Amino acid sequence: MKKKWLSASMLLLALTLVLSACGGSKNSSDDGKTAAGGGSSSGGSGDKVTIKMMHLWPDGSNSAQNKLAKQIISEYEQANPNVKIETEVLENEQYKNKLKVLSASNSLPDVGFTWAAGFLEPYV
């Protein structure tokens, strides 16, 4: 039970940090530039932004983490109506393989979750 709670807390913390960093400021001067994830940004607070997110908590085998991720994303999108988070959910091995392919093609998602230290070395 303690391990589940810790996992859920870490997910919440990670999503909060990542999504709050995407909030931007109202005094932006990025007129006409493309925002991360392909959304268009012209500096105003009403501009639509799309964030691509990938995680490895499919419903069923990791239903607690999946439910928590959906809840956090939903709450964030409600609080930030100009932000749309496109989520791709994969099984563990599919996730690892897709990260390799996306990294090689320079098409990684804006937000992703991964394992610590050693796994990330080839991507940094």
**CATH code of residue 46:** 3.40.190.10
Residue 13, φ and ψ in degrees, nearest 5: -65, -45
The answer to whether 89 and 55 have CB atoms below 8 angstroms apart is: yes
For residue 26, being part of any structural domain is answered with: no
For residue 74, being part of any structural domain is answered with: yes
For residue 23, being part of any structural domain is answered with: no
The reported pLDDT for the residue numbered 59 is 80
| Range of lowest pLDDT (62-66, 81-85, 87-91) | 62-66
Could you tell me the residue range of the domain that residue 11 belongs to?
Answer: 2-17+31-123
**Other beta carbons within 10 Å of 83:** 22
Name the domain count of the chain. 1
* Model confidence band, residue 29 (pLDDT cutoffs 50, 70, 90): very low
For residue 24, being part of any structural domain is answered with: no
What are the pLDDT digits (tens) for 35-80?
444 444 444 567 899 999 998 888 877 788 889 989 999 999 999 9
- Phi-psi category of residue 117: left, alpha or beta, with phi > 0 → left and psi -120 to 50 → alpha: left
pTM of the predicted structure, to 2 decimals: 0.58
Highest mean pLDDT among 13-22, 76-85, 86-95: 76-85
